[in-house]
Structure 1
Amino acid sequence: MEPSTHTPLSFFDRYAYAIKAFIIIVMTIMLLIPANMIQGIIWERRDRQQEATKEVSSRWGEEQHITGPVLAIPYTLAGQHNAGEFQSYVYLLPENLKINGELLPEKLKRGIFDVAVYTARLQLSGTFTKTALEKLDIPFSALKLNEAMVLVGISDLRGIDNQVQLMWNGKPYFFNPGIVNKDLFSSGIQTPVAIDMTAAGGTAGSFTLDLGVKGSGHIRFSPIGQTTVANIRSTWPDPSFDDAFPPKTRQVSDKGFVATWQIQHLSRNYPQSWTGNKYDIQSADFGIRLFMPAQSYQQSMRAVKYALLIIGLTFFILYFIELSQRRTLHPLQYALVGLALCIFYTLLISISEQLNFIMAYIISSVLTIGLIVLYIAAAYKNARIAISIGSVLVLLYGFIYVVISAEDQALLMGSLGLFIILALVMYFSSRIKWDKLGQKDVTPVNQ
């Protein structure tokens, strides 16, 4: 019987694949550092976009909040703590308010960023009645009817682009800038009006006014009528109705939208008349946001959150090929593949600033997958293996895009996808004869 010439395996030979697996796991975690740095880049670019929006808005007009008209009547009562008198205001809201308008949208550029702005052509009409005033515990003799004013709140007066004229009981009145106080809103316009509280029919005044105002991104209205009806149309194809009240009816198409609101006073938290600053009159505002559909930074941030999945799964495929084909990759080669996967996100961010997100995603995916396929083909000297890895990456990037595009179902789809991926990993790993690893020599891919 011949003596055995078998040389016992050293510790490193016996556990070479385990050590390699540990190195790959550490490398995967380390590659999350550049992924986190990319998230910082996204935040930085988003802040730059917001700065560009603010700069354009400061010149064109900020988002507008339109509140009114409100009838303000001063009154005097004997002071409670002194012998004199003090003056305050009674505020009356219209019995009915109709808002008809059109938003004329534009896209202004600041560098590479687009900013949605608009010019609103509005007509407000309605009537004031004496009913709400009679409910207040104020003597009629205390009212200074000859000093009554109509107030309209406009959040950014720089956006007004016409001389606003009020038709009050058929007579014209021109508005002046400023408001009597800040009980209702912080900025606006006002005009004195003549009212006759002794007129028959209970009507204190009927009004119509045309208002042209410029703004950026968002316009809101306050439903101050006992019944408020608003009809707004525009050629903007992507409106967002995310305020206190959604439209009663809406029609949205590629050519624009038409939206109608009908709001009753019972749906808000303030009455038709009061004194002083008891209520927040803008607490129930409704309106339209000119939504910019190319929210590339938000979608890019979602994509970066899946970096661990893409890097980890790619490394697992390469590691599985090592185990099945008995040909190794150097850890540096793993690192280069991982860096290529990270470069995908910088490509995605930079290209999406010039094109729409889906085109940027396709271009970035093709460039990244193509680079990895060519590199793996050269490393393994086997085109079939490289194409197989490329096919898996195509499916993976396609899955990631579907997940980040489906906002409401993203969690469900992501969970199901991760479950399927884990099941596949468990299946393929179960076919590996772990107890046989390290017993045969392997050939490095660079030999």
Structure 2
Amino acid sequence: MSSTFDRLNNWARKSVTLKLFVIGFLILLLLIPANMLQSLIRERESLRNSAIEEVSAKWGLAQTIGGPVISVPYTTSVIDSEGKTISRTGYAHFLPDEIVIDGELTPEQRYRGIYVVVLYQASLRINGHFGPLNAAALQIPVGDLHWEDALFTIGISDMAGVRDAISLVLNDTSLQFGPGTVTHDIFSAGASVPIDLSERPDELRFAFNLQLNGSSTLSFLPFGKETRVSLSSPWTDPSFEGAFLPDERTVNDEGFRASWKVLHLNRNYPQQGEGAYIGKAADGRLALNASDYDYNTKAYQQAANDPNAFGLRLLLPIDEYHKSMRTAKYAAFFIFITFLTFFFIEVLNRKRLHPIQYLLIGAAIILFYVLLVSIAEHLNFDTAYWISCALIVLLITGYSAFVLGNRKLTFLVAAMLLVLYGFFYSILQLQDYALLLG
């Protein structure tokens, strides 16, 4: 009996196959905390996003600018099922022939705890003109249109970001915008001013300035037959987004300048229509339509919901959580290579390591990612990576010296770890060829 037990014990200590099975089981066991790392990163990223939303809600959310639009009320009479005549009021909407927007974005970084929030102040000069308002195309009887009660409206997705009063110059007449929109056919948020179009002028030239606070993103809706937008800013990391990229752009160490030109032929709705005709033409996805308003967050959905919106986003140069997540996805690979190294040291040098010792080494590798995330929240990612790398390499190397009792093998472990972490760092710096090199 004793002899059988001794033989089994001796086989268990010397069996390479059993050792491989044990190491495989330990790797699977360590995948549990490795997957929890990704949950930790997502949780920290969620806290960062909550901080950004909190600051943005008080300063100004991502802004989308639409219009201007001239809306003319009209009255129609319909007969209901009981034979009674009911009067209903609708709105005919007219878009401008030309919109020219020239503006500057002054970026600002603010902090909520350890998190950075990118804000901006936009100074926009908006001018253009309306041609003859083609009511005949709408097939509305002329007598039903109330031209004297027309409205001049602009859409602003977050009115909390408006910094100054908005003064309109319309054919040499000065007017003041008031808050809100009378009709929600086109915009659910914005500013409007009543205008009298009883004389039906052939041309309406308009000009106004818009001082606006916002965060991260600024977008525009191409409501003109020709919409031209020029923006400049000292921010060096813009991301141009939406349906149209800039026709011209310059990005350097001093900032960026970009200009767009969009024609009415590039979108899917005409220059005039009744009711919420723009939302219908765009499959109900117009960014400033009431259906896109979230009353819980008091914000509009992303301007990308409107297939014709275009603009830019002010990016932070480094997203530490994105890089940390990329790094954490390779945790199993790091554990496998490290365990494989120690396994070959065992086999080739007749050193015996207990499974608990493998488990401790694996725990040290997991600790690298926790250190990386926590340090990267305070320093830049590259510095955090090498600090975490140095600490873990020293920890595993010191433990290896104690366990292996061989200086040469200890140096081998240290060299393997440095090569592994150095190689993976080079992969992180690549974008187009990261998969190929990996």
Asked if the contact 2:94/2:133 (under 8 Å) is kept, the reply is no
Instruction: Give, in whole Å, the separation in 1 of the partners of 2:267 and 2:436.
Output: 36
* 2:3 equivalent to 1:10: no
Indicate the residue corresponding to 1:440 in structure 2: none
Aligned residues of 2:125 and 2:208 also touching (Cα < 8 A): yes
Give the structure with higher Rg (CA).
1
Match of 2:112 among 110, 113, 138: 110
Aligned counterparts of 1:184 and 1:405: Cα–Cα separation in 2 = 45
Moved more, 317-326 or 402-411: 402-411
Q: Which residue of 1 aligns with 2:230?
A: 231
Q: Distance in 2 between matches of 1:398 and 1:222?
A: 47
Can you list the C-alpha shifts for 1:247-271, whole angstroms capped at 9, x where unaligned?
1121112221111111111221211
> Deviations along 1:233-254, whole A, 9 cap, x unmatched?
1111111112222111211122
Secondary structure of the 2:138 match is coil
- Shift in Å at residue 54 of structure 1? 1.2
Task: Give yes or no for the alignment of 1:342 onto 2:342.
Answer: no
Aligned match for 1:317, one of 341, 351, 369: 341
Give the 3 Å change call, closer, same or farther, for CA 270–401 of structure 1 in structure 2: farther
Q: CA deviation at 1:11?
A: 4.4
Deviation at 1:156, TM superposition (A): 1.1
Question: How far off its partner does 1:12 sit?
Answer: 4.6
Pairing partner for 1:329 from 353, 363, 371: 353
For residues 160 and 190 of structure 2, the distance between their equivalents in structure 1, rounded to whole angstroms, comes to: 11
Match of 1:130 in 2: 132
Identity of aligned residues (%): 39
Q: Does 1:51 align with 2:50?
A: yes
Q: In the aligned structure 2, how far is the partner of 1:118 from the partner of 1:290?
A: 9
* Counterpart position of 1:264: 263
Counterpart CA distance in 2 for 1:134 and 1:395 is 75
CA distance 1:70–1:238, change in 2 (3 Å): same
Distance in 2 (alpha carbons) for counterparts of 1:345 and 1:198? 69
Match of 2:381 among 349, 357, 364: 357
- Note the alpha carbon deviations across 1:269-327, whole angstroms, 9 max, x for none: 21111000122244211111111122111211111110000000000011011111111
Unaligned runs of 5+ in 1: 1-6, 415-447
Cα deviation for residue 58 of structure 1 reads 1.5
User: What residue is the counterpart of 1:93 in the other structure?
Assistant: 95
Shift of 1:351: 0.5
Q: For residue 67 of structure 2, what is the aligned residue in structure 1?
A: 68
Q: d(CA) in 2 for partners of 1:208 and 1:149? A: 15
Moved more, 185-194 or 209-218: 185-194
1:373–1:345 distance in 2 versus 1, CA, 3 Å: same
Contact preservation (8 Å) 2:161, 2:214? yes
Where does residue 180 of structure 2 map in the other structure?
178
Cα distance in structure 2, aligned partners of 1:365 and 1:133? 70
Aligned to 1:370: 394
Root-mean-square deviation (CA), in Å?
1.9
Indicate conservation of the 8 Å contact 1:154/1:189, yes or no.
yes
Instruction: Confirm or deny: 8 A CA contact 1:299 1:405 kept in the other structure.
Output: no
Regions of 4+ moved over 6 Å: none
CA distance in 2, matches of 1:258, 1:392: 47
Which has the higher mean CA deviation after the structures are superposed, 110-119 or 188-197? 188-197
Q: CA deviation at 1:412?
A: 3.0
Could you tell me which of 158, 162, 165 is aligned with 1:163?
165
Gapped regions of structure 2 (runs ≥ 5): 280-285, 288-305
Cα deviations by residue, 1:339-374 (Å, 9 ceiling, x for unpaired): 111100011000100011111111111111122122
CA contact (8 A) 1:99 1:122 kept: yes
**What is the CA–CA distance in structure 1 between the aligned matches of 2:265 and 2:437, rounded to whole Å?**
41
Question: Is the 8 Å Cα contact of residues 306 and 400 (structure 1) preserved in structure 2?
Answer: no
Distance 1:80 1:100, change over 3 A: farther
Q: TM-score, normalised by structure 2?
A: 0.88
TM-score between both structures, scaled by the size of structure 1 = 0.86
CA contact (8 A) 2:148 2:198 kept: no
2:273 is the counterpart of 1:249: no
